[in-house]
Amino acid sequence: RAKEEGKNQYRFYDRTMYPEAEETMEIKNSLRKALERNEFLVHYQPQIDVMTGKMIGLEALIRWNHPKRGLIPPNRFIPIAEDTGLIVPIGERVLRIVCAQSRAWRQAGYAPIRIAVNLSARQFSEKDLAHTIKRIVDEHELSPSDLELEITENMAMKDDKQGILQELRDMGFTISIDDFGTQYSSLAYLKNLPIDRIKIDRSFVGGISRDNKDEAIIMAMLLIANRLNLAVIAEGVETHEQLTFLQDNHCHEVQGFIFHKPQPAEEIGRLLLLQSVPVE
């Protein structure tokens, strides 16, 4: 009923009664403007090789710097952008920001570091996705191996995505499966799909030393990945207990607040500089 009354109907809701609904409507209406006004920015979270302590990669995570509301996290607006289709130009914007940043670090003389970019389902269904990404990478004089593309299990499984994955893989991009173990999928796709890495979801990592079942699942994931020659990274590592468990079970790539939260590019630049300096 409210819908029929036009797009301004949200003004008639009581703010205190429906703050969420109103915010959602406002986000929907202002996403396009945000794109035009360059209000999206990218934070980067380091991925660490625990054996060497070095950053082996970064994950690019979008934020919306809203003029009135401040930094809005992706979970608040990505699903809305997905619904409206705006995720396609927003995703392209993220790729451009990431490539420009990677290029700038390269020109500043830092050692190259792989950057992982999250793709959304809608983006992944675009027919010319592979060529769009390749064009952006080329424009920045980067190579596909400088980027990793993160997709989820549902995306990988959906009406035979093997073709596009193979195309991206052949171009030289690495592919990782995000939030691994949390969606509908079958183990057969691990055998059939051209992927490079799985990211153990932080819901499992959170159960370490609290829930035997989570620990069992993580151990099984590591075993399978290892046998299939897939790299594994654990997400959301926050405690020393979690880190120790992962190391004891031969998971050496981790990402989580225990090392670094996602940070603006300038902060990451400082970390890259430290890492580029040879240690005595």
Contacts with ligand C2E by CB under 6 A lie at: 45, 61-62, 73-75, 78, 91, 94, 118-120, 150, 178-179, 202, 235-238, 255-257, 262
> In the chain, what are the helix, strand and coil shares in percent, each to the nearest 5?
50, 20, 30
Spatial distance between the Cα atoms of 161 and 172, rounded to a whole number of angstroms: 17
What is the spatial distance between Cα 28 and Cα 100, in angstroms, rounded to a whole number? 27
**222-241 positions binding Mg ion, by CB under 5 A:** 235
Residue 118 engages Mg ion in binding (rule: CB under 5 A)? yes
The CB-of-118 to ligand C2E minimum distance in angstroms stands at 4
Alpha-carbon separation of residue 86 from 7, 30, 72, 92 (angstroms): 18, 11, 16, 10
Output 30 or 153, the one with its CB closest to Mg ion: 153
Residue 250 CB, shortest distance to ligand C2E, in Å, is 20
- According to DSSP, residue 263 is labeled B
Residue 18 is encoded by which pair of tokens?
């429906």
236's contact among ligand C2E, Mg ion, none, with CB below 5 to 8 A by partner kind, is ligand C2E
* Identity of the residue, 30 or 255, whose beta carbon is nearer to ligand C2E in the bound complex: 255
Nearer to ligand C2E, 120 or 185 (CB): 120
For 101-192, where are the E strands, in sequence order?
114-118, 147-152, 174-180
Helices (H) then strands (E): counts for the chain: 12, 9
Q: How far is the CB of 127 from ligand C2E (least distance, A)?
A: 18
Nearer to Mg ion, 84 or 182 (CB): 182
